[in-house]
């Protein structure tokens, strides 16, 4: 494991042990792109879980009950995008859905694939014989996966075991960070009931949690031919909720931290909430001048507006002091190449088609050169 880095953690970015909920936002914003069919009209009252947008076999549901106000513009990922605004009526009235089976093991492989497709959770390689579950957060300081395991250990293990049987797998690896001690202890205690699940303790090194890297470390070279069904702990938790309740995923855990936030913490929010509303109602800022980094201090990207919509791809938000370190001349130390987990060289373009955008080269560079930008 020579091509990984150990990140020296700073206490100010560590999240509080308590996890918070913010599940009644005033508004939600549903990104709209050309080609989608809009299933609602202005001023229409919608129930939670009712269909708002469709595109071929892709469905988007309302995370709240309320009134459709029409279209506006917000930042989605890193660009301005049209969004449908729904104002919350705070009644959380839910659309009735039938067809839930009592036990997860009662579902057939076809049932599971169909119901997951309906809620946009598509399994890659569903004929794979290895089930690989990633319980390690992507980025330093993110604690979403660790939080889910801590809160729902039995649900997670039950779902993994059911999928193992339903998909007729031959091996099942559940990767955890070896210093996530509370979860490690707890899962070792629970896992005795599930002899098919093999817990794999991985060192706290970056970027071990990237799918390509985790597969390389755990599966290759011995079992590569068997094919892998790869899922994260969030996927497992979402699958549990989908199969148990037959409902779309409308909430998600995100880590909000940064050296301009008084108390960094993990928060469970409605998908479609605005970052501005979440921050205003749940976090105290040290000052008004900050930069916003989305999805990690190493691999993330900057956005310049709190009018930013939380979509299902958002794992973390950092509000940090504005970084005024200026890039200097390259001193040819070679670290960006020798520490790259896939052996690429961002200076020359060598093997950049393998780049996983982990940001290690930028983090490690003594001249503060933003090499990650070159990997785009």
Q: Which residues contact ligand SF4 by CB under 6 A? A: 330-336, 340-342, 344, 346-347, 355-361, 364-367, 369, 371-372, 375
Here the tokens at position 340 are 């790259």
What is the closest distance, in whole angstroms, from the C-beta atom of residue 352 to ligand SF4 in the complex? 6
Cβ proximity to ligand SF4: between 193 and 338 the closer is: 338
Say how far apart CA 296 and CA 158 lie, in whole Å: 30
Cβ proximity to ligand SF4: between 172 and 344 the closer is: 344
Cβ proximity to ligand SF4: between 267 and 355 the closer is: 355
Cβ proximity to ligand SF4: between 86 and 340 the closer is: 340
Say how far apart CA 358 and CA 375 lie, in whole Å: 10
What is the closest distance, in whole angstroms, from the C-beta atom of residue 356 to ligand SF4 in the complex? 5
- Residue among 37, 30, 36, 27 nearest 66 (CA): 27
Say how far apart CA 13 and CA 141 lie, in whole Å: 6
Cβ proximity to ligand SF4: between 188 and 327 the closer is: 327
Q: DSSP class of residue 364?
A: H
What is the closest distance, in whole angstroms, from the C-beta atom of residue 278 to ligand SF4 in the complex? 29
Here the tokens at position 15 are 């999240």
- Residue among 165, 152, 138 nearest 237 (CA): 152
Say how far apart CA 102 and CA 108 lie, in whole Å: 13
What is the closest distance, in whole angstroms, from the C-beta atom of residue 22 to ligand SF4 in the complex? 32
What is the closest distance, in whole angstroms, from the C-beta atom of residue 209 to ligand SF4 in the complex? 13
What is the closest distance, in whole angstroms, from the C-beta atom of residue 335 to ligand SF4 in the complex? 4
Distances (CA, A) of 138 to 45, 98, 283: 38, 35, 23
Distances (CA, A) of 39 to 30, 54, 59, 68, 207: 12, 7, 10, 11, 41
Here the tokens at position 41 are 């009209």
Cβ proximity to ligand SF4: between 97 and 331 the closer is: 331
């Amino acid at each position: 494991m020579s091509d990984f880095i150990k990140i020296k953690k700073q206490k100010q970015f560590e999240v509080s042990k308590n996890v918070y909920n913010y599940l009644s936002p005033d508004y939600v914003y549903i990104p709209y792109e050309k080609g989608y069919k809009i299933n609602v009209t202005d001023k229409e009252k919608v129930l939670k879980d009712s269909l708002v947008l469709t595109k071929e076999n892709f469905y988007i549901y309302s995370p709240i009950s309320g009134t459709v106000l029409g279209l506006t513009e917000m930042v989605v990922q890193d660009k301005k995008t049209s969004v449908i605004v729904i104002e919350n009526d705070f009644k959380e009235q839910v659309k009735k859905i039938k067809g839930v089976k009592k036990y997860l093991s009662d579902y057939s492989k076809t049932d599971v694939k169909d119901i997951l497709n309906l809620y946009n959770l598509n399994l890659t390689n569903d004929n794979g014989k290895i089930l690989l579950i990633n319980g390690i957060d992507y980025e330093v300081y993110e604690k979403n996966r660790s939080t889910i395991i801590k809160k729902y250990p039995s649900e997670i293990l039950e779902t993994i075991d059911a999928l193992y049987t339903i998909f007729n797998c031959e091996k099942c690896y559940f990767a955890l960070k070896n210093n996530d001690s509370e979860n490690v202890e707890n899962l070792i205690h629970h896992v005795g009931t599930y002899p098919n699940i093999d817990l794999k303790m991985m060192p706290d090194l970056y970027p071990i949690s990237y799918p390509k890297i985790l597969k390389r470390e755990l599966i290759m070279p011995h079992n590569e031919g068997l094919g892998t069904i790869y899922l994260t702990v969030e996927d497992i938790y979402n699958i549990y909720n989908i199969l148990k309740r037959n409902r779309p995923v409308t909430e998600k855990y995100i880590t909000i931290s940064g050296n301009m936030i008084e108390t960094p913490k993990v928060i469970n929010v409605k998908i479609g909430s605005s970052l501005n509303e979440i921050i205003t109602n749940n976090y105290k800022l040290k000052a008004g001048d900050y930069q916003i980094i989305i999805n990690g201090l190493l691999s993330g990207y900057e956005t310049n507006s709190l009018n930013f919509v939380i979509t299902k791809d958002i794992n973390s938000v950092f509000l940090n002091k504005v970084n005024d370190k200026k890039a200097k001349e390259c001193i040819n130390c070679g670290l960006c190449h020798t520490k790259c987990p896939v052996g690429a060289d961002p200076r020359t373009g060598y093997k950049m088609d393998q780049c996983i955008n982990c940001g290690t080269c930028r983090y490690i560079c003594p001249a503060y050169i933003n090499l990650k930008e070159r990997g785009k």
